[in-house]
Amino acid sequence: MIELEINKKIVAVPENWQELNQATMLALAQVYFAETMPLLDKLSWVLGSQLGLKKKEMKNADAAYVYLQLEANGVFEKMMFLLGSPVDEVVVAGDDYFEQKEIIAMQQLLPTVQCGDDELIAPDNDFSNLVFIELLVADDLFMRWQQTNDDDWLARFFGCLWRIKDTEITDKNYKGDWRKEFNESIITTYGLRVGKVSKSTMLAAALWWLSNRIKLAATYKFVYEPSDADGAEDAESMAQQGTTVMLQSIAESGVFGKLAEVKMSNALECLTYLNSKIAANKKAAKTKVSDGND
């Protein structure tokens, strides 16, 4: 974090995604997904929010002076990472010829959200407490929102993840998921329930999801990368083939039980199984080809 004194006010400038605070995240989320907005305008909006400048004040002489100071201090250049992929990459091992990088996703900065009289509880970082069907449905809703820019999809996406507390949990030391159990049959209702939540909060949730989704795809690459088994350029990954294919692939194995049990199993455990299964199949296919060429 870099601290600068601008116009007699200390401004904390994040240097990576891990240093974002909730206020900066909420400000950034309002412009991050705006494809037609100029990059400099996006950064100006975020910094203006940090400085406490209201939208109408961004055009006055004082604001112009502030932005000149920001530019002189190289703040805009330092914050350009905010306009790229919302993850940090760090080298965890390697040498001059080979490096291993680890993807670090954004932290959960919206642990609870107030919606009228209800307090909504967020999912954990890295999707660790999602059930499999919840992950698949939320991902589908997120994609639909990105494709259509329809706020109804955004509300349903947010509502299915940020849910009210399960009142049946009374143990204060409970270490599991405090949210009421996910119900795939009331997706529309989830969207209606969050009508009092601001769009900026929902956009911040979408930004958090995108960051963790990128890490997820890198971690379970055999599930999310297109298959090259047949050398087809238009080959689809298992994730691209859809929810039904992923669910059936696990259910047929019986490892997690029948279909209904698979849906409510831990999402990361299901992805770990699928990733290993696809990796083993690819290895077997390569071995078969190699044996056939001998």
Q: Tell the burial category of 127 from Cβ atoms under 10 Å away from its Cβ (0-12, 13-18, 19+).
A: buried
Query: Taking the model in full, what pTM does it have?
Result: 0.87
Intervals of the chain under pLDDT 50: 229-233
State residue 288's pLDDT score. 67
Amino acid 41: pLDDT: 79
User: Which pLDDT score, from 0 to 100, does residue 150 have?
Assistant: 96
Residue 67, pLDDT score: 64
Query: By the 8 A CB rule, do 21 and 107 touch?
Result: no
149: left (phi over 0), alpha (psi -120 to 50) or beta: left
5: buried, middle or exposed (CB in 10 Å: 19+, 13-18, 0-12)? exposed
Q: Per residue in 53-77, pLDDT tens?
A: 655 555 555 556 666 666 776 777 7
pLDDT value at residue 231: 47
